[in-house]
Amino acid sequence: MALRATLVWLSVLVLVGSSVSVEADPNYRDALAKSLLFFQGQRSGRLPATQQINWRTSSGLYDGRLANVDLSGGYYDAGDNVKFNFPMAFTTTVLSWSTLEYGKRMGPQLQSARAAIRWATDYLLKCATATPGRLYVGVGDPNVDHKCWERPEDMDTARSVYSVSPSNPGSDVAGETAAALAAASLVFRKVDPQYSRLLLSTARKVLQFAIQYRGAYSDSLGSAVCPFYCSYSGYKDELLWGAAWLFRATNDVFYFNLLRSLGAGDSTDIFSWDNKYAGAYVLLSRRAFLNKDKNFEQYKQQAEQFMCRILPNSPSSSTQYTQGGLMYKLPESNLQYVTAITFLLSTYSKYMAATRQTFNCGNLFVTSSTLRNLAKKQVDYILGVNPLKMSYMVGYGPYYPKRIHHRGSSLPSLARHPQSFGCEGGFQPFYYSANPNPNILIGAVVGGPNQNDGFSDDRTDYSHSEPATYINAAIIGPLAYFAGSSRS
């Protein structure tokens, strides 16, 4: 009887799925709204009256106190309660870039995008200006935090403060912070000129610090950032990325000369919070496309080499695809690479379409549609057009992950359970439970399926079930691109 009931339910689910046409044409506008809402669930600091994800309340209000500074605000990076500035700054840069490229297609979500950016930049400004000659780069001891399963509102672990300085450099985290502030300054240039000027002047100082005192933050901070967000690719890519953004924001020849001194010889087939080369090449290629500036032709060539390593039918492709068509880069949190690379595909496609250009990968002829179609396939897969008919965005479509690896989502809210959970208090009744999470973190994109298109929806399997700010930040642009160019 139970089996028959299950089969009936499955057939209903299939019918529901087909009637809302999740497969044929995802609702990109709905997905865009939800993916931006997710950032509210990651907020640290004092939450405003406009907070819509209401099972979250204020937390981390005294962050920075151990260093006698105010470092409240910003975002928790993923399912934990730590503020890691390296991925947070990357998240901010990509959110800003998405808004610059696709803001006109965002419609009513443009305000939400700006709010998501500003929540991060208000915090990054504090980190950059609180103490002269020092850049704060994180709050919360990750080694202690990762042994706990408690709500952000209950945190009773040490809120250790980490920073880089001339004697303990961090060119990577400083370069990324400068990129974030510079990119955001362009977002706010017309709507809040004073704030934009503050962001840009701070970006200049932070990049100067990154150039002057060179070194990797992993070497300076050790176990406070490794193995969580080690700078595996070194810091040259962040200097290139920071210089690219400051050049776009200022047109200052100083940054152009810095770019030339850094060169563009590093080939890559990935884009992530750690490795920015491909992003810098696409960003800088914009000058070659739209300004016909020959000085930037080398970056355009590098960007095209990158695309040739991604395209499935290219002779130089180094990218695997699952049977269902999903790009597969690495086993841990694969969707972070999928969303970031998809952002570059859609953006480069846009530049190509605007200038009616094409290129070749050996014998493969590549048009703007080639890149656009691959980007659409990746977005559609994430939204449910896949062998499991599973949307990997929480709250989108009829079938999505219910047991995500996320402390706040998996524990009852303060309203329902006013007593605090101690460090290990959430493990037994909630972390190891097979029950769905009590709070739905709408819009969260999780780490995604395995290389066989399988997904177990298991809270303890963090590499597949954990959401992260940088996964979501990168899908915003493609969602806006397809939302704005669809007829719906």
Distances (CA, A) of 127 to 111, 226, 479: 24, 20, 31
Mean pLDDT on 217-245: 96
Mean pLDDT on 230-238: 95
Position 25 pLDDT exceeds 90: no
pLDDT value at position 246? Answer: 98
pLDDT band at 15 (very low <50, low <70, confident <90, very high): very low
Looking up tokens 């200038």 gives: 355
Tens-digit pLDDT profile for residues 439-456: 999 999 999 999 999 999
Alpha helices in 53-102 (DSSP H): 85-102
Token pair for 329: 């880069």
Hey, which bits of 121-276 come out as E strands? 135-139, 161-164
Calculate the average pLDDT of the chain: 93
pLDDT value at position 79? Answer: 97
pLDDT band at 263 (very low <50, low <70, confident <90, very high): confident
pLDDT band at 2 (very low <50, low <70, confident <90, very high): very low
Q: Percent of the chain scored above 70 by pLDDT? A: 94
pLDDT value at position 30? Answer: 98
What domains are defined for the chain?
28-483 (1.50.10.10)
* DSSP per residue, 263-295: -S----S--SSS--HHHHHHHHHHHHHHS--GG
Which DSSP helix (H) or strand (E) runs through 5? helix 2-19
Tens-digit pLDDT profile for residues 351-382: 999 999 999 999 999 999 999 999 999 999 99
pLDDT value at position 487? Answer: 39
pLDDT value at position 24? Answer: 59
What φ, ψ does residue 445 adopt, rounded to 5°?
Answer: -100, 125
Tens-digit pLDDT profile for residues 127-139: 999 999 999 999 9
Tens-digit pLDDT profile for residues 36-83: 999 999 999 999 999 999 999 999 999 999 999 999 999 999 999 999
Tens-digit pLDDT profile for residues 334-345: 999 999 999 999
Which DSSP helix (H) or strand (E) runs through 360? strand 359-361
pLDDT band at 266 (very low <50, low <70, confident <90, very high): confident
Active site residues: 405, 457, 466
Mean pLDDT on 130-150: 96
